[in-house]
A and B are shown apart, each in its own frame.
Chain A
Amino acid sequence: MFSLKKHVVHVVKYRVLWMVLSAILLLPGIVAMIYSSVTYPNHAPMKVGIDYTGGTILQYGLKQKITNNDLTTTRTNLEKIGVENPYLQILNVNNTQQENTKNNINSIISIRTKFIGESSDDVENITNTLNQQYESPELIQVSSVGPTMGKELFKNSLIAVGLAFLGICVYLSIRFKFDYALAALLGILHDVVFVCGVFSILGLLYNVQIDGLFITAILTVIGFSVHDTIVVFDRIRENLRYYSKKMSFGEIVDASVNQTLARSINTSLTTLITLGALYFFGGVTTKDFVLAMILGIAIGTYSSIFFCSMLVDFWNDKKQTQKSAPKETLAV
């Protein structure tokens, strides 16, 4: 009758294992972020895009596929006309799934420079330079952020993340006990550090830069991660009402995690399916944004199943030992 103790995953029993696994997942990213903070000129843990530093990005659609050699030539040409330190990148457009006969843009060349103001002729000069090297390049996108604007956007993003943390913490403390809220917050931190770490590594390896959309992705991941955690905690709360006399706290945590396991995995799966569709078939401009969410949601599911529930159990254990031998443990 009572199959509550037959489990697929054991959160409580292998507590140390999950702690180690989390550490393994987070450490490389943390190392990359520290390394980046030390070596980058602006001491940011990740490569930051023009949204935060200020600058201009020009994107040209080209009919031909370009190689890294073409890019080197372009860079030299641009430096010749006085563009300081242009940063060039190729974005490949996959036209396999769609007929794109009208425009036939096969690759996009992206040029990042310092901020180009309205009185400057730099855009025209750059277009002319490209015109000499490639067949009818088309200026398809211009993004420009002034230096003061960049600082302000950065400040706003930090405020947004801070407020989201606070808002969720307040909401959770009202709906649950404070320990649960704290565990959920640590879970968020766990997920955010993981995603930032991966992007820090990607920044070092592939020059991936974070922008305003990245912060949006992080905030969405925060929402999701808490979402998952709440479902597990909600179940723990419910089971505590019915079984607190028959089972230990650890057993209840394990049971709750297992009862919600199918749900946790299925929900993440459906969300990952839609995100996967966006990643593979959606626009080039939102790729990094979607990638951040995919990573965040995957790690969010892991953390809500293993990390947060383990924390709740861990604290409960501490409380128990404190209750049974209060003076001695506190003195140590």
Chain B
Amino acid sequence: MKNKIIMFWAIVLIVIVSTVIIFVKPTKLGLDLVGGSRLMLEAQTTDSIAKITPEVMGRLQFAIENRVNKLGVAETVVQQVGEKRLLIEIPNVTDLKEAKAFLGETAQLEFKKEGKDKDGNQIWISTGLSGQDLSRSSLSTDQTGQWVVSLEFNDAGAKKFADLTKSLVGQQMAIFFDGEIQSAPVIREAIYGGKAQISGGNSGFEYAEAERMVNLLNAGALPVPAKIVEENTVGPTLGADSIEKSKFAGIVGLGAVMLFMIAYYRLPGLIADIALIIYSLILFALFKTIPVTLTLAGIAGFILSIGMAVDANILIFERTKEELRAGRNLFTAINSGFDRAFTSIFDSNMTTIITCTILYLLGTSIVKGFALTLALGVIVSMFSAITITKNFMHLIFGTGELKYPALFGLSKDEIGKSYEATETKREKARFGILD
């Protein structure tokens, strides 16, 4: 009995801790609930880079992270998925098309000089100086008031630039941005000091155009082009609507299950209901502590797990009722109810966990959310439905005779009129049966 009282207070403590966590910690909500964009970017191979190596992916991720930060939105996520993909999450983006174009731009800056191909045609050939040699760029105006992009090279870049301009005096040098020629000034003298400017050619830059180029150059070029292969954007109104609906559905579902349990199993049903509430508290606290990002599918997994959590109790109570019908005393009936139902509960929950693991490993992020909440739910339910319910049952019913069979939804004449399982001595010892 002493153990049971200690256990009871342990449960109370868990409930208090969970409640505090629920109030203190914020819930992480998925983009489908708060609104936002999920983009999957895939690195594309080029003629010069035929294979996407982890090193290339690292540089790509770095450049994309820089760009995402430039969007000025809080709580963005950039994460590598598989070998050549990046998952980007941006909540509440205002101009998605703009953002998408910004993220996907390769932003390759190249300096080229005049040359000839093998047929003698005039072409631009690479000089080896590129955007990678920049330390920073900024927006400024030239003498005529035109917008220009100022470039500052790093040490290596400054040296390359000086050598290059020295060798090209009197010739043209072209500046290419993403394959498009921006300007092609004639070099008058060698330029030392590592500074240069890009003017927008004859037409000049629009302010927005120059600003965009500066942002892209500062964020760094992508080592390889990247394409959006998957997109999911949810507007904030739909998200808010989904939260409301899920809350309502959850409350209705939980309420209906609780009513059913009381109607069918009476007092044990009420105990199971209390265990179910504790289950919800613990699970929610866990979601917030880990933290699990709640998505619509995740909430569906949670609500589904409510149905599964009472399953263990139903198994136990059905078994306890059978034992009572067989004329066992209350204490024995409760104990053997729990003991005998345990293998079924364990086996069946294991299969659910197997499927959840597979879903988690192979699924898309929506499916992952569902699998995670369902698996956590199943694990927590093993504790709530078995440990908590058993403890409450023993504390409430004690060891005496069952005076009111109606508490279990049984009638007096049912008792002792059912089949009787014949136990071995070992089992009798385990269930605490006295002959």
- Among A3, A56, A168, A262, point to the contact of B417 (Cβ < 8 A): A3
B300 in contact (CB, < 8 A): yes
- Among A98, A118, A259, point to the contact of B322 (Cβ < 8 A): A259
Q: Give A289 to B300 CA distance when docked, in angstroms.
A: 9
Inter-chain contacts of A277 with B (CB < 8 A): 249-250, 252-253, 256, 303
Q: A226-B348, A273-B256 given as contacts; is B310 within 8 A of A145 (CB)?
A: no
Q: How far is the CB of A96 from chain B (nearest CB, A)?
A: 11
Interface size bucket, B side? 35 or more
Q: How far is the CB of A146 from chain B (nearest CB, A)?
A: 4
Q: Looking across the interface, which residue of chain B has its beta carbon closest to that of A290?
A: B300
Q: A142-B232, A149-B229 given as contacts; is B367 within 8 A of A273 (CB)?
A: no
Question: Is B242 a contact of A263 with CB atoms below 8 Å?
Answer: no
- Among B296, B355, B370, point to the contact of A283 (Cβ < 8 A): B296
A132 in contact (CB, < 8 A): no
A159 in contact (CB, < 8 A): yes
Which of A56, A159, A167 counts the most chain B CB atoms within 10 A? A167
Q: A267-B314, A283-B242 given as contacts; is B354 within 8 A of A278 (CB)?
A: no
1/0 contact string of B239-275 vs chain A (CB within 8 Å) = 0111011101110111011001100100000000000
Question: Is B260 a contact of A167 with CB atoms below 8 Å?
Answer: no
B231 in contact (CB, < 8 A): yes
A206 in contact (CB, < 8 A): no
B184 in contact (CB, < 8 A): no
- Among B344, B356, B371, B374, point to the contact of A230 (Cβ < 8 A): B344
Inter-chain contacts of A290 with B (CB < 8 A): 300
Q: Looking across the interface, which residue of chain A has its beta carbon closest to that of B306?
A: A274
1/0 contact string of A205-236 vs chain B (CB within 8 Å) = 00000001101100110111011101100110
Question: Is B232 a contact of A140 with CB atoms below 8 Å?
Answer: no
Chain A's interface: helix, strand, loop or mixed, by majority? helix
Q: Give A219 to B32 CA distance when docked, in angstroms.
A: 22
- Among A168, A212, A235, point to the contact of B366 (Cβ < 8 A): A212
A128 in contact (CB, < 8 A): no
- Among B233, B237, B349, point to the contact of A138 (Cβ < 8 A): B237
A156 in contact (CB, < 8 A): yes
29 A-B pairs within 8 Å (CB atoms) are namely A56-B231, A61-B238, A103-B241, A105-B237, A118-B104, A141-B232, A146-B229, A160-B359, A160-B362, A171-B354, A213-B366, A213-B370, A223-B355, A230-B347, A234-B344, A242-B421, A263-B318, A267-B314, A273-B260, A275-B307, A277-B249, A277-B252, A277-B256, A277-B303, A281-B252, A282-B249, A283-B241, A286-B300, A290-B300
Q: Give A277 to B254 CA distance when docked, in angstroms.
A: 9
Q: Give A234 to B296 CA distance when docked, in angstroms.
A: 35
B351 in contact (CB, < 8 A): yes
Inter-chain contacts of B195 with A (CB < 8 A): none
Q: Give A139 to B232 CA distance when docked, in angstroms.
A: 12
Q: How far is the CB of A193 from chain B (nearest CB, A)?
A: 18
Inter-chain contacts of B359 with A (CB < 8 A): 160, 216, 219
Q: Which of A1-19 contact B (CB under 8 A)?
A: 1-4
Q: How far is the CB of B227 from chain A (nearest CB, A)?
A: 7
Question: Is A285 a contact of B242 with CB atoms below 8 Å?
Answer: yes
Inter-chain contacts of B229 with A (CB < 8 A): 145-146, 148-149
A196 in contact (CB, < 8 A): no
Question: Is B354 a contact of A168 with CB atoms below 8 Å?
Answer: yes
Inter-chain contacts of A215 with B (CB < 8 A): 367
Q: Give A191 to B249 CA distance when docked, in angstroms.
A: 26
Q: How far is the CB of B104 from chain A (nearest CB, A)?
A: 5
Q: A117-B228, A175-B347, A289-B297 given as contacts; is B303 within 8 A of A278 (CB)?
A: yes
Inter-chain contacts of A242 with B (CB < 8 A): 421-422
Question: Is B238 a contact of A141 with CB atoms below 8 Å?
Answer: yes
Q: Give A144 to B38 CA distance when docked, in angstroms.
A: 10
Question: Is B249 a contact of A281 with CB atoms below 8 Å?
Answer: yes
Question: Is B362 a contact of A159 with CB atoms below 8 Å?
Answer: yes
A271 in contact (CB, < 8 A): yes
Q: Which of B295-323 contact A (CB under 8 A)?
A: 296-297, 300, 303-304, 306-308, 310-311, 314-315, 318, 322
Question: Is A171 a contact of B234 with CB atoms below 8 Å?
Answer: no
Q: Which of B419-435 contact A (CB under 8 A)?
A: 419-422
Q: Which of A143-174 contact B (CB under 8 A)?
A: 143-146, 148-149, 153, 156-157, 159-160, 163-164, 167-168, 171-172
Q: Can you add 15 more A-B contacts, CB < 8 Å, to A143-B233, A219-B358, A267-B315? A: A100-B241, A141-B234, A146-B230, A213-B370, A219-B359, A227-B352, A270-B314, A271-B307, A277-B250, A277-B256, A280-B249, A281-B245, A281-B249, A281-B252, A282-B249
Inter-chain contacts of A216 with B (CB < 8 A): 297, 359, 363, 366-367, 370-371
Q: Which of A285-312 contact B (CB under 8 A)?
A: 285-286, 289-290, 293
B343 in contact (CB, < 8 A): yes
Question: Is A143 a contact of B232 with CB atoms below 8 Å?
Answer: yes
Inter-chain contacts of B100 with A (CB < 8 A): 118
Q: Give A164 to B350 CA distance when docked, in angstroms.
A: 12
